[in-house]
Structure 1
């Protein structure tokens, strides 16, 4: 049994939801779980110093949780790793191209700007592998996985990752692509006529090519496509609302920009309603 599932856990309700999602997935893949709990040195109570006793208390809580999981899920291997430091940095250190780091997130209320620097967004921007951000467990009636593509190499990698997840779940895979008129960024005009038809056909060919490739590699998987003439967010948001899982690829920058997700991934996380996996360029499929 391998251990390729890392769960950022701190005893909160959000972390428990993420943990339950991760346990279900790990059992299906015959995987193990590592619970990583960080006494965040960057967020102490004013005047408070992190002590060995505080870290020890986290050890005890994580060990109790690990024992509970082992009791409830015989055969599931659960390990714990507790430390003090910056939570994002410590979780990032566990990220590898061949594993998945899972974190929870709260229900989005109030201004979206509050979530720009959320744990999930910051982690996904710099992780070496895939990061799953779990706002809630999906309704059992949901039976499709949605992936967004744009023709880039990382989005094709995300599509392959999504196909694997759809096979695991026994769900349909929906491959979605949104496109805009060339002038949409500088005016409210919408182009019409032969040129627009040619442009749409070009996007359709790209989408069909990806779907054909996925069908060839996954002959037993039901795959459909969605081409939307609109902002990419809107092309993904509607199908994602009724999906069990959303998968996105993200380009990762260097320098200061390495701490920021791509605009589409970031927007989807700001409005997250569905378990979402963000696939990094280094991710191994």
Structure 2
């Protein structure tokens, strides 16, 4: 009995010691539970924030898809425009060769026209001079013949009257001829020849500028070629962007659902 009581006392001491140890650990356990509760609340709050922002993420992805579609349309319009521009430049370049030939021919023809007008003006001036000289001689002959008719004693009045009328008509014709010649000479020297020379000079200047125009068009062709080569990269980049956005849009709903489930579970 005494041995059993001693053993019981020993075990009682062990229980007491264990209870003391357990009691000393209770504060640590209580503190840990409090920290766990605090951490759980923070996780719940974080998940709530994440749930709200996941909805904004979905809206943002939708806006990305809309913007990407607009970008794709814009890139297509841009590349189509560049292609059309390149074709137009090529057509312009094809016309440049004939432009040089045409302007050279026009310049030569205009120069020939100016020379022809100058020769014509010289001819008109010469004819005007001859006409004036001939008119003076004719007028002198008419005056002498009229004096001879009137000096006759048996002059015919009808013949004299007819001659006077003829003289009047011839004088009027000579005056008209002289006036017409002067008018033609004035027109040639003051209008046609200066105008033709101005056109000729302008065409010559234009013909001299054709090589510069050709070089500029060649530069445009080279620039258009580089732009078109960049267009391929632009289209490829746009397609890659669309692909990435579509993949993100595909995964976004499951992400939002997962966040919602986590948030619901954290509340429990």
TM-score above 0.5, yes or no? no
TM-score by length of 1: 0.15
**Structure 1 or 2: larger strand share?**
1
Larger Rg: 2
Question: What's the TM-score, normalizing by structure 2?
Answer: 0.16
Q: Report the structure, 1 or 2, having the larger helix content.
A: 2
Q: Which has the higher contact order (CA 8 A, sep 6+)?
A: 2
